[in-house]
Amino acid sequence: MAEADGFGRKDNNMSVRTKQWTRRQYEAMVAQGVLGPQDHVQLIRGEIVEMTPQGAAHAAAVRAAEEILRRHFGEGYDVRVQLPLALGADSEPEPDVSVVTGSFRDYRDQHPRTALLVVEVADTTIDFDRENKRMLYAAAGVPEYWIVVLPDRTLEQFHTIQTRADGTRDYQVHRQFQVGETFALTISPRPRISVSDLFP
């Protein structure tokens, strides 16, 4: 027979449940000051996830990706650095870099609902970026996703979304490029990019 805990409840049928948040609830907490920039959090599929602070190498790689993409995308595109994307009802990530259509003025009243390209710089979050973030961005229809992997000095490129039999979406193509190699954007005919330029 199971013993009761200090609250008079039996522990044989207890289960742990996590609170699932909507994007509307999350944004309300931000607006009310419950969550602020110092919290370093993002909403990922209903869970408020704490992100680790940036080191110098991470910050430099973010700036490198930003500069490269600003050279590649001119008028009609906005290159955003660590700004929110409103991906569905339960996610509001803040990718290191994203490229969206239009101008920043188009997003005064609401965050972009998707992006053409998302870049995450990964050092301590490699598995999370490869799995959780990959599935999130594919589900949101982001056609191309990069992970700048700092420890390995590699660029991982995901593209070509496919829908599985169970209805989930994922990237069909996953390629890895090393320092010294070049690769091409798949979302538009742009000049090739040197992987070395992503690692200042």
- Tens digit of pLDDT for each residue in 129-169? 999 999 999 999 999 999 999 999 999 999 999 999 999 99
Q: Each residue of 33-44: pLDDT tens digit?
A: 877 777 677 788
Residue 2 has pLDDT above 70, yes or no: no
| Spacing of C-alpha 152 from chain mean position | 19
Backbone φ, ψ for residue 189 (5° rounding): -75, 85
More confident residue, 17 or 197: 197
Dihedral of alpha carbons 102, 104, 105, 106, sign = positive
Domain total in the chain: 1
Boundaries of domain holding 90: 52-198
Spatial CB neighbours of 34, under 8 Å, sequence gap ≥ 6 = none
pTM greater than the 0.85 cutoff:
no
How far is Cα 23 from Cα 44, in angstroms, rounded to an integer?
Answer: 9
Q: What percent of the chain has pLDDT over 70?
A: 90
6 is a domain residue: no
How far is Cα 56 from Cα 167, in angstroms, rounded to an integer?
Answer: 40
175 is a domain residue: yes
Backbone φ, ψ for residue 195 (5° rounding): -60, -35
More confident residue, 31 or 1: 31
36 is a domain residue: no
12 is a domain residue: no
Closest Cα to residue 171, out of 129, 142, 148?
142
Sheet holding 154-163, edge to edge: 77-81, 97-101, 117-122, 144-149, 154-163, 169-178
129 is a domain residue: yes
Report the CATH number at residue 87: 3.90.1570.10
158 is a domain residue: yes
22 is a domain residue: no
7 is a domain residue: no
Residue 7 has pLDDT above 80, yes or no: no
